[in-house]
A and B are shown apart, each in its own frame.
Chain A
């Protein structure tokens, strides 16, 4: 039979796999064909695994025996910073060339137990630093909706793989918007779960106090399925939480959720077209019965500055482990051990990674530590307090996901600060640790092409259920 993957979802595929309308092997073959056709141009995948059909066959055997889980036989892609035992994982960096993961990340272990099919690993900004996937050591990932534009980042390859119908879903990681921004640029659904909602064990560390793994899918229902498959407390990551950490006091079943809009942050930076799409979405929410209120987040303007102090600080510490001795690249020409370190790190890290390590070293160095790092931590707490207060008055906070549509490849390449500003709406959720989802909300026509744009909902800690509830209503699922 013919499988139409352009409209296929995880929930549809589940029904058809279970009804034996097609097998997991059939499904995997269709995806492998599509990847072969499109990946050369888009560059979403860095590697297609050579045992995809064997994995799918195993899934089919499980289905035949009635051992069926929500993700059994579902083909997905993985961001290149999630460890999967025995396979190459590089964070799209030269410094990890040839690195073979010695163990499975917790999310992989969970998905393997459901017999999920892994298609391959996807391109990203090196060590997840960037918002365009232009910082990859293996070339840019193009936006499937307009090949002259970036896919966004850092999970650009993961998002593009779903958007181009090269995977039914994908796992990305989000430190400051790395799942949501590309999802907005490519017209798919991207969820950044609550910090600690999904184990970071086996995720290559970037900003350890902000990083979280999350699903990239075509629908909100699919996002919920994949999130439920990977979530949960893990003894290997002590920052994961139990159900009692953030008790769910309020239930929304019998009332409509209220939505707060911090209109004061939308006054600058947002393009006119993007503002129009956002205003239409707010009207839609009102028509769906949501009460919309204007809210204030007094310190939110400092979020981006706080973020670009905390992240480089954590980056400079986390990336100290790459020395050319334990794994990956080793520069051949050093005269002694120290020289080996210096040369390996010079040759192995790309420009943005080097830049962030230097900034992190600066903000942590004696004399500047108090003015930058400690001050940023104090402000982070104030911002968290503002959000807690706002989220006691409304159930959800909504903003655009990005200030505008996907930009042209190369447009921001020589101006790192202008690229950082793309994260202005997404970083607060990471700073506060709350969950946030980006949903496709409309299109802006540029150069004769309809470019997608996303809307972002944020909820209190551990209230992904509210994001799914509003998301399904918003997208009419």
Chain B
């Protein structure tokens, strides 16, 4: 059984503010989903982990676009900018 406190803790880890009532409502919902997916614990036997045929491969870290090509488009998507910087509230 998952508790209201567990939900609040998960929400903190996931950086989502959750109200008391919402946490209460989420308890039965998440419980029933975890109950359902928990059936995999009954599955017998483990298989060896194999590397899938298709997987992420990192590209070389090289500049592939011209200077400023995307700068304005990217910065303009930010809710708050100051010059060429993203503006955020104080951290400490």
Binding site for B on A (CB under 8 A): 99-100, 102-103, 195-196, 209, 235, 238-241, 245, 299, 302, 304-306, 308-309, 316, 320, 323-330, 334-343, 345-346, 349, 354-355, 357-359, 361-363, 365, 371-372, 375-379, 381-382, 385, 416-417, 420, 433
Contact = CB atoms under 8 A, between A and B. Distances in A.
Best-surrounded residue of A245, A325, A371 (most CB of chain B within 10 A) = A325
Given A103-B70, A420-B36, 20 more contacts: A102-B70, A239-B55, A241-B53, A299-B43, A305-B36, A306-B37, A328-B79, A343-B17, A345-B15, A345-B17, A357-B14, A358-B16, A359-B33, A362-B30, A379-B40, A379-B43, A379-B47, A416-B33, A417-B32, A417-B36
Contacts of A363: 37
Interface in B1-24: 2, 6-7, 10-11, 13-18
15 contacts: A102-B74, A103-B70, A209-B52, A239-B55, A306-B40, A336-B90, A358-B7, A358-B14, A359-B30, A361-B13, A365-B13, A371-B41, A375-B43, A376-B37, A417-B32
Contacts of A241: 53-54
Interface of B: 2, 6-7, 10-11, 13-18, 26, 29-30, 32-34, 36-41, 43, 45-47, 49-50, 52-57, 59, 70, 73-74, 76-80, 86, 88-91
Contact of B26 (A304, A328, A339, A355): A355
Contact of A341 (B15, B33, B90): B15
A337 B52 CA distance: 39
Contact of A308 (B13, B37, B41, B57): B37
A93 B32 CA distance: 26
Contacts of B2: 362
B54 A239 contact: yes
Contacts of A417: 29, 32-33, 36
A239 B34 contact: no
Contacts of B86: 325-326
A355 B22 CA distance: 10
Given A336-B90, A378-B47, A378-B49, A196 B54 contact: yes
Contacts of B47: 378-379, 381-382, 385
Contacts of B78: 325-327
Contact of A100 (B39, B76, B80): B76
A245 B54 contact: yes
Contacts of A433: 54
Nearest to B7: A358
A210 to B, nearest CB: 12
Contact of B77 (A320, A327, A362, A372): A327
B13 A416 contact: no
A28 to B, nearest CB: 27
Contacts of A245: 53-54
B30 to A, nearest CB: 6
B40 A305 contact: yes
A337 B16 contact: no
Contacts of B54: 195-196, 238-241, 245, 433
B80 to A, nearest CB: 7
Contacts of A328: 77, 79
B77 A337 contact: no
A324 B16 CA distance: 12
Nearest to A196: B54
Given A100-B73, A337-B90, A381-B50, A239 B56 contact: yes
Contacts of A335: 89
Contacts of A309: 37, 40
B41 A375 contact: yes
Q: Which 9 A-B pairs have the closest CB atoms?
A: A330-B79, A102-B73, A346-B17, A342-B17, A238-B57, A327-B77, A239-B54, A305-B37, A345-B16
Nearest to B57: A238
A204 to B, nearest CB: 14
A341 to B, nearest CB: 5
A340 B47 CA distance: 43
Contacts of B26: 355, 358
B42 to A, nearest CB: 9
Contacts of B70: 102-103
Contact of A357 (B16, B45, B52): B16
Contacts of B88: 325, 337, 340
A420 B91 contact: no
A100 B73 CA distance: 8
B64 to A, nearest CB: 10
Nearest to B73: A102
Given A305-B40, A308-B37, A326 B16 contact: no
A369 to B, nearest CB: 13
A309 B35 CA distance: 12
Contacts of B89: 334-337, 339-340
